[in-house]
């Protein structure tokens, strides 16, 4: 049975991640928010430390993905494994700064995709790369099945053509995991993911976006024009199985959505802690032994936000725990992402109101801007609710649109 307390064996990891967030990320947070598109050089040494932690078997220090097969070796009992550790580490790191975590070498969402669906040989080749993930297109946002980027088989290669937008770390990463279709007439089943390394002819970074939040993280527009990729760079099976449909590439989201939920949890907790400090300095006491309706209005509002945070936090832990225990978690991953994404936006904006923190003197202003993307990328709020409805009602994508 699931225990929603952080496992004791993760204590050292949580402490290490918190120390890194407080000593490295938080102090430079505002600096790189202002210096958009400037690479945070402080992260180079820090990334090497994370690599050491992950190689030591502790894992979970950053946002890189977790290989599910590794959690299937022991088929008995409950496990608190790599997915839960990664979620707990991500929460702490994003308490420090979510944009800087997204800027961390070898901690990209593409790494989670590789961990989810790569075979052993591919994992050995690509496991040390910094990998971004390219899904969204100019005419294809939340509906990933509407992808128009094509991958045409030609000898021992696939030739990719198309354009991708809103690619996190698209300029800085060593490679990009690109979603493309092998056969547009075959629908969702033909969509596959390909690892395209930087420097591949036909692969161009068109521009970087200027953004509302997560400004330390580069977000790129990419173009693929007759870009030739070796066949062995296709992640997973090349078979177009209409019965299996979209399941192969969608497994990626079952790993990455809990991570994005964890990012939201980290930002929300940072905002709540800062707001609690500001309220305390103003003489507002939050009393957990009294009903909210007989407390100061600001204290009652704070209690409401904290309850919202706890619900999102527990859903996120559940989705990671299920992955570690070999249980299908697509429903729970979408529930966690939907709840955490909406909650972090509500929490940070309300905290700005409660604290009157509308200037750059407080990081609350920055966190409110950073929060919105966490409700959008890896599947918008609306898409998550649609997925949850399909799972709960037993409807297919064709039956419930």
CA 394 to mean position of chain CA atoms: 26
Contact 308, 260 (CB under 8 A): no
Contact 309, 265 (CB under 8 A): yes
- Per-residue pLDDT, 257: 92
Contact 224, 200 (CB under 8 A): no
Long-range contacts of 310-313 (CB under 8 A, 24+ apart): 311/339, 311/343, 312/261, 312/264, 312/265, 312/268, 312/336, 312/339, 312/340, 312/343, 312/344, 313/265, 313/340
- Per-residue pLDDT, 239: 84
- CA–CA gap between residue 316 and residue 285 (Å, rounded): 29
- Closest by Cα among 194, 168, 232, 173 to 113: 194
- Per-residue pLDDT, 72: 46
- Per-residue pLDDT, 312: 98
Tokens at residue 330, please? 């697509």
- Per-residue pLDDT, 71: 46
Question: Which residue in 69, 209, 378, 399 is the catalytic one?
Answer: 378
Tokens at residue 150, please? 């094509």
pLDDT profile of the chain (401 residues), mean per 10: 76 91 96 96 80 59 54 57 89 96 86 84 91 93 83 98 96 96 89 96 98 97 98 90 58 84 98 98 96 96 97 95 90 97 98 96 97 94 95 92 86
- Per-residue pLDDT, 240: 81
The reply to whether 137 belongs to the active site is: no
pTM (2 decimals)? 0.92
């Amino acid at each position: 049975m699931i225990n929603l307390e952080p496992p004791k064996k993760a204590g050292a990891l949580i402490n290490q991640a918190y120390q890194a967030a407080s000593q490295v990320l938080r102090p430079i947070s505002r600096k790189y928010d202002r210096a958009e598109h400037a690479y945070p050089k402080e992260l180079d040494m820090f990334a090497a430390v994370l690599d050491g932690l992950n190689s030591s078997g502790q894992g979970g220090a950053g946002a890189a993905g977790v290989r599910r097969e590794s959690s299937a070796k022991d088929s008995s009992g409950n496990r608190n494994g790599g997915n839960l550790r990664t979620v707990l580490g991500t929460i702490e790191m994003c308490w420090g700064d979510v944009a800087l975590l997204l800027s961390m070498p070898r901690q990209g969402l593409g790494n989670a995709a590789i961990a989810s669906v790569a075979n052993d040989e591919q994992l050995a080749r690509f496991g040390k790369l910094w990998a971004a993930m390219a899904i969204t297109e100019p005419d294809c946002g939340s509906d990933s099945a509407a992808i128009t980027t094509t991958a045409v088989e030609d000898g021992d290669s696939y030739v990719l053509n198309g354009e991708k937008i809103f690619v996190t770390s698209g300029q800085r990463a060593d490679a990009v995991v690109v979603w493309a279709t092998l056969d547009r007439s075959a629908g969702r089943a033909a969509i596959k993911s390909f690892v395209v390394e930087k420097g591949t002819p036909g692969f161009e970074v068109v521009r970087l976006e200027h953004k509302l939040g997560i400004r330390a993280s580069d977000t790129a527009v990419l173009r693929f024009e007759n870009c030739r990729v070796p066949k062995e760079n296709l992640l997973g099976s090349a078979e177009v199985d209409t019965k299996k449909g979209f399941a192969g590439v969608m497994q990626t989201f079952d790993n990455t959505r809990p991570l994005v939920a964890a990012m939201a949890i980290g930002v929300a907790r940072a905002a709540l802690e800062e707001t609690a400090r500001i309220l305390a300095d103003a003489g507002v006491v939050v009393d957990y032994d009294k009903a909210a309706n007989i407390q100061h209005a600001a204290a009652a509002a704070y209690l409401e936000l904290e309850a919202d945070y706890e619900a999102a936090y527990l859903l996120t832990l559940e989705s990671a725990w299920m992955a570690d225990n070999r249980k299908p978690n697509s429903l729970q991953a979408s529930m966690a992402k939907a709840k955490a994404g909406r909650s972090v936006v509500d929490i940070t904006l309300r905290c700005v109101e409660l604290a009157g923190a509308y200037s750059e003197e407080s990081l609350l202003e920055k966190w409110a801007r950073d929060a919105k993307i966490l409700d959008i990328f890896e599947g918008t709020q609306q898409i998550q609710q649609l997925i949850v409805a399909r799972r709960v009602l037993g409807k297919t994508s064709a039956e419930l649109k």
